[in-house]
A and B are shown apart, each in its own frame.
Chain A
Amino acid sequence: MTDLCKENIKDKDGFETMYLNMGPQHPSTHGVLRLGLVLDGEMIVKAEADLGYLHRGMEKLAEKRTYQANIALSDRYDYVCSMNNNFAVALAIEKLMGVEAPKRAQYIRIIMAELNRVVNHMLFFGFFAMDIGATTALMFGFREREQVIELFESVSGARLTYNYFRVGGVARDLPSDFVQKTKAFIKLMRERLKDYDILVTDNVIFRDRTEGVGVFTKEDCLNYSMTGPMIRACGIKYDIRKDDTYSLYNEFDFEVPVLKNGDCFDRYQQRMLELRESLKIVEQALEKLEPGDIQAKVPKVIKPPAGEAYVRTESPKGELSVYLVSDGSANPYRFHLRAPSFINLQILQKALVGFKVADVIAILGSIDIVLGEVDR
């Protein structure tokens, strides 16, 4: 980082560039991310990201914990969507062992994963609009989040780090009023979405600050290995739930929205459309639920045979994949999480050049990162 400070370019009038440090403690960087910016007046000439302020060494810790404890540890990677993290790790362990969860457990898993996608996109809406300046949106986002958190709490007992999935199924069955409460929530959510459109989507200031800002092309997306809503807003139609399907997603009828401009407004609009599709999936899953087992028969101490597996899932931020190597003992030999936020963030060094300081917040907010995943 110190190399950036030494680069000051002088122009013919004697003006120099300035180095601005958006340090680890900043209200808009979504956590402890440090950005070093070299500015020429208000325009950015060079940008570099400095990571590692939340590095907890989780990949090394995973080698000391048992397989079931790894599912509990995986909650803390992307702490906004814990259910999706649990899903990826549980699927990887099941692939190594060759077991499959029973049907009721798979439907419950899909309901939880899609409800977590709704929570994540609600929080994205709240934080993105607040970064642009509309602070009321954050209150709305958290108000809806509280409704879903109550549902999750009735099922798993916790508000943020659920540890609900087990190898071969889920931990506990749904309480008796879960289906009825979820249907009431879906109905409420669809009405509230109209409020959000009036407040934020059709707002002149929001549109001016996000349309045309931070445009990514299709070649950028392929080159920088980006996944998730980022590439679907640029025109590439690829969703792992449809194109490389896992669990029982192929039984559901939902669309994959694709937009074409690739700017901040399209990335926002993409997530709002995906939210509506997730509500459709939850409705269909609630209809398909039938009584049955919630966990397959697995031994008490889980020791998968030696081998390796790479399992891909679609988390709300992109492709969340787990590469797991086992050597036959009760602890994993190597656990690697392919974190979507870490890989999506690489484009920042190229995307910020030529924009103003105020646009940094808009572009960073539209990438939707969580530092727990970036730094692991």
Chain B
Amino acid sequence: MDAQEYLTKIKAKFPDVTDVPVEKLKDGIPALSCPAASLFEVVKYLKEEGLNFLLNLCGTDYKEYFEVIYHFTSLENKVKLALKVKLPREKPAVASITPLHAGADWQEREAFDLLGIDFPGHPNLKRILLPEDWEGHPLRKDYERKPDQYD
């Protein structure tokens, strides 16, 4: 199956998944925009259909909203696909895909640590890169650094 067939099958099964405009994607990887509520089901369907390798999980702060992007591939038929999820600015939360892909564990913890995105269903959502008592989420665009004993 190639990328276009995957796209048509997913859009047929999940009607609320839409295309992302192609002009912004300069790397040739097709992308779909998925609402937060149905992400877990879409990822489960992709895993059954053969796109069972999670490449990358990354959060971005666009000033009105957050966005989490997932890249999937299949090691046999070499197809790549990206999923984008838009989250609201206050209380961003999307279901954790750690039960399906254990490799998402630390990447979700990093998104929580640096951006403040919540992943309900994650077995161990704690800060991973910053000290446990750090306040704030540094990668947000409105983060203000508080002076401390080392400044």
Contacts and interface: CB of A to CB of B under 8 A. Distances in A.
Interface of A: 51-52, 55, 57, 59-60, 95-96, 98, 222-226, 236, 238, 243-244, 306-312, 319, 321, 323, 325, 333-334, 336, 338, 342-343, 345-346, 375-376
Nearest to A48: B124
Given A52-B131, A225-B103, A308 B24 contact: yes
Contacts, number: 84
B129 A55 contact: yes
B75 A310 contact: no
Interface of B: 23-27, 29, 52-56, 58, 60-61, 69, 71, 75, 78, 80, 82, 101-107, 114, 127-131, 138-139
Given A59-B139, A308-B25, A310-B27, A225 B130 contact: no
B53 A310 contact: no
Contacts of A333: 60
Nearest to B105: A346
Contacts of A223: 101-103
Interface of A is mostly: mixed
Nearest to A52: B129
Contacts of A376: 129
Contacts of A321: 55-56
A225 B55 contact: yes
A225 B54 contact: yes
B60 A334 contact: yes
A323 B26 CA distance: 11
A319 B55 CA distance: 9
Nearest to B73: A244
Contacts of A308: 24-27
B149 to A, nearest CB: 18
Given A60-B139, A236-B75, A323-B69, A51 B55 contact: no
A308 B58 CA distance: 13
A310 B24 contact: no
A222 B52 contact: yes
A57 B58 CA distance: 15
Given A225-B53, A323-B69, 7 more contacts: A222-B75, A225-B104, A226-B103, A308-B26, A309-B27, A325-B60, A376-B129
Given A222-B52, A323-B56, A342-B106, A375 B139 contact: no
Q: Which of A238, A243, A343 has the most B CB atoms < 10 Å from its CB?
A: A343
Contacts of B102: 223-224, 346
A57 B139 CA distance: 9
A37 to B, nearest CB: 17
Contacts of B75: 222, 236, 238
